[in-house]
Amino acid sequence: MTSPGRMTQQDWIREGLRVLREEGDQGLTIEVLCRRLERTKGSFYHHFSGRESFVRELLAYWEEVFTADVIRDLAAFDTPHGRLRELSRRTVRHIDSRLERSIRIWGERDPIARVTVDRVDRAREGYLRQQFELASGAPDDAAVAARAQLAILVGIQMLYQDSSKEELQRLVDHHHLGPRPPQTSTEQEESS
């Protein structure tokens, strides 16, 4: 149930993400959104010209929040090792595996979702490659490590969506690829 206040575009998008997580893209209809938010179609059309414009905004929001914002936030860490370690932690703590899985499955059926999923994967892989290269100085190895790390993270999300955060962290830590020297004192402070 929603509050009686005015709905924003972001309210609709956030509800759309909840629908995707719970019902998959089949549940992502204007009727379902209106029923869940207890709003009329007129309220929906106040913010979006139709389902396609809603879908595009929802996917743009997912891309921004779960990829671009994360990459920007990681700049606060001084070393590539610190950034990679924090990315590993955030992958488990903040990425919603059920939502990621639903969006990936949707992307297999829908060309609009596919374009966004592909762009997100390229951005994530590119960031990993950059960090592995900074850490190792070996561009070829960094490219392979980045592709493998992304494949492992996606695989974990797809296969173990109902696992506990602790179990997921153990999986991510166990399969972390790329150079991993001992933590510096600064990195130890960042991780606490």
Read off the pLDDT of residues 40-68 as tens digits, 9 standing for 90 and up: 999 999 999 999 999 999 999 999 999 99
The token pair at 148 is 């493998």
Residues 6+ apart with CB under 8 A from 167: 160
| Rama region for 179: left / alpha / beta (φ>0; ψ in -120 to 50; rest) | beta
| Least confident piece of the model among 4-8, 42-46, 122-126 | 4-8
| Rama region for 14: left / alpha / beta (φ>0; ψ in -120 to 50; rest) | alpha
How do the domains of the chain map onto residue ranges? 51-191
Q: What is the mean pLDDT of the segment spanning 34-44?
A: 96
First to last CA, the chain: 38
Does the structure show a pLDDT above 70 at 186? no
Q: What is the mean pLDDT of the segment spanning 82-96?
A: 83
DSSP state of 66: I
Average pLDDT, the chain: 87
Read off the pLDDT of residues 138-174 as tens digits, 9 standing for 90 and up: 989 999 999 998 988 888 778 877 777 787 777 766 6
Burial of 105 (0-12, 13-18, 19+ CB in 10 A): middle
pLDDT-based confidence at residue 82 (cuts at 50, 70, 90): very high
Report the distance separating Cα 96 and Cα 168, nearest Å. Answer: 12
